[in-house]
Amino acid sequence: MAKPLIAIRQLRYADLLASYLTSQYIDVTVVHDAAQDQYVVQLHNEQDMDKALAICHAFVKAPNDPKYQQAAWQHSERTDVITPSKPTFDTKRWLIWLRRAPFCGSMLFICTAVFVLSFLGLFPFIKDQLMIQPLGQLAQNNQWWRLLGPAFIHFSMLHFVFNLLWWCMLGGRIEHKLGSSFLILLFVITAVVSNLAQLIAAGPNFGGLSGVVYGVLGFVWIIGWLRPTWGINLPKPVIGFMLLWLVLGYVDILWVSMANAAHTAGLISGCIIAWMLHLGSGNKASPAQ
């Protein structure tokens, strides 16, 4: 049962404190006390009480210490505020998710906008602006954004929904734990590597976020194995399903055309990034320190 730690008048400060406590692996919730018009930070695990109280005392003395804002920024996190007398709406949950994973949400918005505009008849224009081109042509026109361009293009509703669901689930988890900057870097590397691989293997006529999706899958798979305490992982059956889907693409028995080179290159690049992060983190128990 949750126990109150501290009551704070301003939501901004309650949010900062809760974010910092969360960064220290202390599970808390902010509850709005409407009668007193204040926000109560509640602790879920009594074993953390002494450590949590010490942090609260330090926060009261210096609530504007940059380390609290830094913790909230690094985690791209806002603690959900529970109002007991009011139901929680799905819209609110989406807004909280977007606050925690802004880059992941931005990619969802961009891909959705591109897909809708394509459906409305603007696909020729979008293809002309985003489709990748042979490297010799890129070297002449310097339109290097096209190395990322195919990731935003989807050719069917199934293609779009499949990729964006996986992106939101995996990308959101990575961004929540490791921050927006890391997810942006992971996206750029896996997108460029997978798109170049598919370009070399089959030419420029392809699109989709699936190379990046396999990149983040590979990252979650390996980092979950190497650093299980970080809390970035997937159940083995889910990973097995995605790997089976990759193999089926090479067997060529599916009803859709698969960008096999993009999928494979994305997966390998994601695995390598996870391995490099593991080595670079040394003996750190968690990325949140």
State the catalytic residues. Answer: 210, 263
Taking the C-alpha atoms of residue 231 and residue 75, their distance in angstroms, rounded to an integer, is 14
Q: How far from 143 is each of 130, 194, 197, CA to CA, in Å?
A: 9, 18, 18
Q: How far from 69 is each of 57, 72, 99, 201, CA to CA, in Å?
A: 17, 5, 15, 46
Taking the C-alpha atoms of residue 284 and residue 263, their distance in angstroms, rounded to an integer, is 31
**Phi, psi (rounded to 5 degrees) for 40:** -105, 125
Taking the C-alpha atoms of residue 104 and residue 168, their distance in angstroms, rounded to an integer, is 6
What is the DSSP code (8-state) at residue 203?
-
Tokens read off for 18: 């809760």
Taking the C-alpha atoms of residue 94 and residue 103, their distance in angstroms, rounded to an integer, is 14
> Which pairing describes strands 81-82 and 28-33: parallel, antiparallel, or unpaired?
parallel
3-state class of 48 per DSSP? helix
Query: Is 254 within 8 Å of 202 (Cβ atoms)?
Result: no
Taking the C-alpha atoms of residue 150 and residue 177, their distance in angstroms, rounded to an integer, is 27
Taking the C-alpha atoms of residue 176 and residue 111, their distance in angstroms, rounded to an integer, is 20
Query: Is 71 within 8 Å of 58 (Cβ atoms)?
Result: no
Tokens read off for 133: 């081109």
